[in-house]
Amino acid sequence: MSENLHRILYLSYAPEAVYAMWRKALPEGCELLTLTANDDAERVAKLAEADAVIVAPAVLRPEWVAQAPRLKLVQHQGVGWQGETPIPELRARGIRLAINPSGTADVVSEHALALMFACLRHIPRTDAAMRRGEWLGTALRTVSRNLRGRTVGIVGMGRIGSAVAALLQPFKVRGLYVDPYQKLPEGLELALGFRRVELDELLRESEVVTLHLPATRETHHLFSDDTFARMRRDAVLINCARGAVVDEAALARALAAGTIRAAGIDVFEPEPPRPDNPLFALDNVVLTPHVAAGTLDAMQAKVDGATANIGRFFRGEALQDEIDLAAL
């Protein structure tokens, strides 16, 4: 094995077109290792040779780190590293971790709005009904709503939450947000028309609640039976954050009972969801398979961002968006 060649493992099983994008963008002196199947045994075998690994959507399991003796860098394809990174194992070995916000806020904020429209206008439901020969042309007129003028609550006002607020500008919504760790500067709050409130007020007032916070111990099942009971009965919940933030069984109960009106869900616990997931039986939920960041444009931005960081790492330069594991 040449000591001058850096082997970069792409941990997710993906179509050849995705691998080709990474191969094309990797800096000279780097070779891409890829999987021939969605197979953990192959992952572990290839980790044994890898100097760096690109993670997400596939995650690096804690027990695999010991089997990756050459590993020096974990580069996240995206941003959501909490709850899916083996922090103690990386820290013990001095393996570094970097995330990659390139392209993400734009693409996820668009998807959040797409789900808002799909729910407020019942688009998947009307599409399915038409294919069954049912014309819901008048039935939905008393329940569909405009996005314009709604009260929208954003939970987590970071990169994506603030991109959602910016994208909502033309719709003249009444904006509320919750973020215990980040307050927007007052000028920006005014410009975006979003006011920071406590969770209770956001739940009580919002007709659309959209989640853009990380999965942490503190946010695990933040949306539970109790939370849904505090929301408006006409509320729409959008989750493009992480499945673990919402208790899915409680969400299904709330949707079935009419405690809230509808939901647009991109992320699940676990992924993919089990075939008997109760959400599948409901027609007031719109589901997408963790693709909020899944466009060609975003993929190219991620490839460019992550490969630039891998280049920095092997040239001995400072990493962008490094997570300081020692400080956690």
Catalytic positions: 242, 271, 290
Binding of ligand NAD by 276 (CB under 6 A): no
- Indicate which single residue of 73, 79, 152, 303 sits in contact with ligand DEZ (rule: CB under 6 A): 79
Whether residue 213 contacts residue 177, with contact meaning beta carbons closer than 8 Å, is answered with no
- Indicate which single residue of 85, 104, 162, 239 sits in contact with ligand DEZ (rule: CB under 6 A): 104
Binding of ligand DEZ by 153 (CB under 6 A): no
- Residue with smaller CB distance to ligand NAD, 147 or 241: 241
Q: Which among 73, 57, 135 has a CA at the least distance from the CA of 292?
A: 57
Coil, strand or helix at 48: coil
Which pair of tokens denotes residue 307?
């490969």
* Residue position matching structure tokens 């969400």: 251
What residue number has its CB nearest to ligand DEZ?
78
Contacts to ligand DEZ from residues 12-71, by CB under 6 A: 56-57
Contacts to ligand NAD from residues 129-158, by CB under 6 A: 155-158
Q: How far is the CB of 290 from ligand DEZ (least distance, A)?
A: 6
Distance, CA of 5 to CA of 23 (rounded, Å) = 14
Binding of ligand NAD by 160 (CB under 6 A): yes
> What is the side-by-side order of every strand in the sheet holding 322-323?
30-33, 6-10, 52-55, 73-76, 96-98, 322-323
Helix (H), strand (E) at residue 205: helix 199-205
Binding of ligand NAD by 106 (CB under 6 A): no
The C-alpha R_g of the chain, in whole angstroms, comes to 21
- Indicate which single residue of 62, 180, 258, 289 sits in contact with ligand NAD (rule: CB under 6 A): 180
The site for ligand DEZ (CB under 6 A) is made up of 56-57, 77-80, 104, 293-294, 302
